[in-house]
Amino acid sequence: MSDFSYLKPPADVYQIKHDPFYVKHGEGKNHVRKIFFHQEFDEYEQQKIKELTASIQQHKLTLPPDWCHELTLKYCYSGGFEISRCIQRLQKHLEWIHDENYQVLSPEAEQYLKQGYIYQFGRDHQYRPVVYIQLHMISKNKVHVPTLLNAATAIGNMVTKFMYARGYVENWIVILDSGGSGLFDFPFSTLNMINEFFSINYTSSLHKMFILNPSFFFNSSWKLIEKIIHPETAAKINFLKASDFYKIQELIPAEEIEIKYGGQHPNLTTFWPPINTKAQINQPNDEFQHIQRPHTLTKRTQSLKESEYFSIDNNSKEFYNNSKMKEYRIHEQFQVIDQQHAKCCSCKIM
């Protein structure tokens, strides 16, 4: 994989404060969890980790060297805590990990990325990455689905390795532009394959999904579907026509949204490799943990700013009979008062 370390979030990502409801809510099989790392698991989760671990051993599955209990728990959730289904989905994931047709970016898949069939641009107010999928382009140009999934793997691996911060940013936002595609020209089978692909290989990652420019058919169908699916799922999906694009700014800063989607950033003409929209001040590294601070940053001032959105939509919280819970992010300004570490060891200029 190429080096996308320039996409890492600024150091103040470690000041994000998630509400406990956002991290996890529900009981038993109705558990919903969005943050897995640096968390304590309840008894039910711990028991399911043990059961799935035992089943993995029985099936003689070989896990990657960096596998951990948190990832095992993710596949407990992926299979709805039904161990046989968890194993099936995990087996598919392991096959994908070792399949070079996915993991090695082909020239054809790279062209899909450069043309913007799928691309990453911007972050929301909580530094969650945003991924765009141009469904109308996929439909119009009759893309080769395996090549598209190869491109999607490049995006997904890049996001999870370089743009996440375990315990703080573990989810993304997906924006699908349908371009007003109707019943007969919408790529339903392709969308289903993309959804299944992401749900298996990047399980428990979706925070929100926006479907833009929906046709009348889509709007009508969704009004029926949302009444019969789980409120938690319905709360993640939002249909927006052009006149409602401003609602995206409830999650994503306007300067990190393209003009064509109601934001302030010029429409992209180069999609790959992606650009970083966040300043690289106090850039974290792999050793920077949530309890650490650089030793030169010894004095700080804090300001508490309320986020401009709720972690969970009202419908979802009503289902669990919870009151509205808001997320906050602490914005810190560090003042460097210890300058001796910046001195040149030879000339002592500073």
Give 264-281 pLDDT, tens digit per residue: 999 999 999 999 987 554
pLDDT at 126: 95
Which position has the higher pLDDT, 322 or 66?
66
Closest CA to 128 of 45, 236, 233: 236
pLDDT confidence of residue 226: 67
What 3-state class would DSSP assign to 307? strand
The band of 101, judged by pLDDT with boundaries at 50, 70 and 90, is: very high
The pLDDT of residue 184 is: 55
Beta carbons of 252 and 130 less than 8 angstroms apart = yes
CA neighbor of 206 nearest in space, from 232, 172, 159: 172
pLDDT tens across 10-50, in order? 999 999 999 999 999 988 888 899 999 999 999 999 999 99
Query: pLDDT tens across 164-179, in order?
Result: 999 999 999 999 998 8
Distance between CA 34 and CA 204 in Å, rounded? 6
> Is the confidence at residue 54, as pLDDT, over 80?
yes
Asked if the model's pLDDT at residue 244 lies above 50, the reply is yes
Position 251 scores a pLDDT of: 95
- The sign of the torsion formed by the CA atoms of 157, 68, 204, 171 equals negative
Topology annotation, domain 100-261: Phosphatidylinositol Transfer Protein Sec14p (3.40.525)
Q: Who contacts 286 (Cβ-Cβ below 8 Å, separation ≥6)? A: none
